[in-house]
Structure 1
Amino acid sequence: MAYYSVLAVTPSSEDWIPDYLPTANKLVAKHGGRYLARTASHEQVEGSDQAAALRIILEWPTRDAAMNFMNDPDYKPHLDARTAGSESYHFVIEGKDDLA
């Protein structure tokens, strides 16, 4: 079953971004993920303000793939840099409809 990572990221510094992107791209692919959206073009249409500079959506083949990416030792320094240089929220969502 597919899983999705949904992130809201607002950089407080852009120093981490040039090193982060090539490594994250490589490791996402290594773990079977693919980016569905990485954009600053988004609009909130409901609820209280949840501002974020970037919205990112990734698709994973399994939950394990998503967690293996997050726990990959090659990703750790880049994750640390991203979390230190941004306000980030990351949700891993199972691709199913519990309300069907």
Structure 2
Amino acid sequence: MAAYLIFDVEIHDAAEYGKFMAAVKPAIEAAGGRYLVRGGEHKVLEGDWRPSRLVLFEFPSMQAAEDFYNGPAYQGMRPIRLSSSTARALVLVEGAQAAATPLPSSAPGASHRLDETGHPP
């Protein structure tokens, strides 16, 4: 099951952080990961969280993401990231399992109610 790494980062030294970004991308891809969001515009709709720069990665599994994070490639680059930025949050979350039941029909009169497991009653 896919896993997602959410990274809220505040960059202090753009030139140095740029070196980190150039080096980390191939390492992420080698671990089966990919960028889904990379510092785009964002808006907080609820809550007190005030992200600086958001990055979202997708990995094939929690284990693949942890292996990347703890592995020699990333750990070798991590000092560059630490010296040029501050991680405000780095969160790994497991993705939702694909529903085995098809979504309810959108035909007129069809029921759109779901039970507590997210399936039609």
Range of TM-score over shorter length: 0.7 to 0.9
SS at the partner of 1:65?
helix
Q: Give the AA of the match of 1:65.
A: A
Q: As a proportion of its length, which structure holds more strand?
A: 1
TM-score, normalised on structure 1?
0.85
Q: Which has the higher contact order (CA 8 A, sep 6+)?
A: 1
**Alpha-carbon separation, structure 2, partners of 1:41 and 1:9:** 14
Deviates more, 1:54-63 or 1:65-74: 65-74
Q: CA deviation at 1:49?
A: 4.3
Between the two proteins, the alignment pairs up a number of residues equal to 98
Q: CA deviation at 1:72?
A: 2.1
Answer yes or no: is the 8 Å Cα contact 1:38–1:55 preserved in 2: yes
Where do residues 28-47 of structure 1 align in structure 2 (5 Å cutoff)?
Answer: 28-47=28-47
Where do residues 15-94 of structure 1 align in structure 2 (5 Å cutoff)?
Answer: 15-52=15-52, 54-88=53-87, 89-94=89-94
Q: CA deviation at 1:59?
A: 0.6
Q: CA deviation at 1:60?
A: 0.6
Unpaired runs of 5+ residues, structure 2, are 98-115
TM-score, normalised on structure 2?
0.72
Identity of aligned residues (%): 26
Unpaired runs of 5+ residues, structure 1, are none
**Superposed structure 1 runs of 4+ greater than 6 Å apart:** none
Greater C-alpha Rg: 2
